[in-house]
Amino acid sequence: MNFSYYMAKRYLFTKSKNNAINIITIIASIGVFAGAMALFIVLSGFSGLKEFSLSFSNKFDPDLKVLPKTGKYFSYSEEQQQQLLQIEGIKITSKVIEERVLLNFKDKNVPSSYIKGVDENFLKVNAVDSTLLAGTWLHQDEKQVVVGNGISRKLSIGVAGYGDVLRIFVPKPGKGQVSNPNNAFNAISSMVIGIYSINEDLDNKYVYAPFSLAQNLLELNENEISAIEISLTDTANVDEVRAAIQQIFQQNVLIKDRVQLNDKLYKMLNTENLAVYLIFTLILIIALFNVGGAIVMAILDKQHNIKTLYNLGANIHQIRRVFFLQGTLLTFFGGVLGLAIACVIILLQQQFSLVMITPSLPYPVLFEAKNLMIVFLTIMSLGIIASYIGSTRIKRVIEINS
């Protein structure tokens, strides 16, 4: 660092005697502080809401789901099941049958639900039983079903009511026209022994039933199923497991993970996250105009010192670097302080639930290093740009005073 640059910093970094300039600088610092704090809190809050929303689907969706590439069903032999269990990374598998059905209870109908036939391993893959509001889970040898809370309310049906029989209808497989409507449907009678609640969509969609009951209702062959739901070990290599499964089924199946099973939900959440970030970044840009304005005002306040230093040999680039450094440091310290306060607020919310959505549900927040880096880089990038733009006024001031 040469002498002229050292002298420029010494004279130009001194506190201004003009109170208006000092107030503008303080306002700029507060703007950076508030912007950094607000952006991090909002991103942490949105991350918490995202995790909260996905936690419901995580109870319902498996790590991997094997689906037929064409049609509704595919063949799944005992030999293939044993081969699946031998794949490194697979913990347990469960056979599933799904089909659209019509539900009838007394004089009420629900025409757009799905029956989901599950085997005895299903709860080891998906902990749906943890979402039960009332009743118990299925017994495989009984004509029992577990319905969603939405279906229960639509049909006004409770758990194990005496004489309460839920009728399930499904069109009979076959071709051609139906001459007698009474022969167009297969039907079974069952008892509701449990009511679950996951989210509004799923609560109105699925009726869980024993695997054999769904198989008989749909007149499927012994080895025909709709899907295989798979639970993986913590150390599983998903790509290797996918390749091994495809080899067993000779590339005739589709394999989807949780993200692919909920691709619309993930796209919606990611789009909303991006929109929130862009909106608050726009607010930050407006706030950081104050940084550029503070630098311009400081330049005007120090214009006589700038002229003196220029005449003593300091060049425009060296003087500009001083004000650029001033704006960058103002942004850095304001941003760091804002992030520090925001981190404290987020940690307090996680520990003490300061803000509640309902009396029993705290507002979900999630502390992520990723959000911390995003906010810091955004603040610094915008602050550096504002400082550079503000410091370019040096040349104009020198020309006017020359």
Query: With bands split at pLDDT 50, 70 and 90, how would you rate the model's confidence at 402?
Result: low
Q: Is the pLDDT of residue 24 over 80?
A: no
> Quick check: 364 pLDDT over 90?
yes
Find out whether 193 and 144 touch, Cβ atoms under 8 Å. Answer: yes
> How many Cα atoms sit within 13 Å of 314 on the Cβ side?
28
Helices 316-352 and 263-301: crossing angle in degrees, nearest 10, is: 140
pLDDT for the residue 311: 74
In sequence order, what are the residues at sequence separation of 6 or more whose Cβ sits closer than 8 angstroms to the Cβ of residue 210? 117, 118, 138, 139, 140, 141, 142, 143, 144
Determine what percent of the chain is predicted with pLDDT higher than 90: 56
Please provide the average confidence, as pLDDT, over all residues in the chain. Answer: 87
Query: Mind listing the pLDDT tens digit for each residue in 100-109?
Result: 999 999 889 9
Q: Work out the average pLDDT over 352-377.
A: 92
pLDDT-wise least confident of 271-280, 292-301, 308-317, 388-397? 308-317
Tens digits of residue pLDDT in 247-289: 999 888 999 998 899 888 889 888 988 999 999 999 888 888 8
pLDDT tens readout for residues 165-206: 999 999 887 665 655 666 778 999 999 999 999 888 889 999
| Residues 287/280, Cβ–Cβ less than 8 Å | no
Q: How confident is the model at residue 124 (pLDDT cuts 50, 70, 90)?
A: very high
Q: What is the mean pLDDT of residues 9-38?
A: 72
Burial (CB count within 10 angstroms: exposed 0-12, middle 13-18, buried 19+), residue 310 = buried
Record the pTM.
0.78
Nearest to 149 by CA among 162, 133, 161, 136: 133
CA-closest candidate to residue 338, choices 306, 401, 383: 383
- For residue 3, is pLDDT > 50? no
CA dist., res. 395 & res. 20, Å (int): 23
pLDDT band at 7 (very low <50, low <70, confident <90, very high): very low
